[in-house]
Amino acid sequence: MVCNLSVDCDCCAVAEDPCMKDIGILASLDPVALDQACIDLVYHADDPGRDHFVERVESRHGTHTIDAAAALGFGTKEYELITVE
């Protein structure tokens, strides 16, 4: 679920309030493709909080885990996004 997007981790005891609106629900059997799709949707979002969120992701090298998981063979960063209404 790509909702309640805050710049802080869910595990943070005092997390910042969400800064982006909900994007939706995504599903995949490939965890790497799923994470890549989520971050791509954030990057392409037309939301006032997007820049704040992206700055936090980039300043913390937040996509490193996606790259590393793909390199280790846990999945692929390639995906096809299918919208279900």
Q: Which pLDDT score is estimated for 17?
A: 73
Rounded to two decimals, the pTM is: 0.86
Residue 78: which domain range? 1-85
Query: Who's near 8: CB < 8 A, 6+ residues apart?
Result: 15, 16
* CA–CA separation, 8 and 52 (whole Å): 11
Number of domains in the chain: 1
Q: Which pLDDT score is estimated for 25?
A: 94
Query: Who's near 16: CB < 8 A, 6+ residues apart?
Result: 6, 7, 8
Q: What is the mean pLDDT of residues 49-75?
A: 93
Q: Which pLDDT score is estimated for 11?
A: 66
Running DSSP on this structure, what letter comes out for residue 64?
H
Name the more confident of 21 and 28.
Answer: 28
Q: Which pLDDT score is estimated for 10?
A: 65
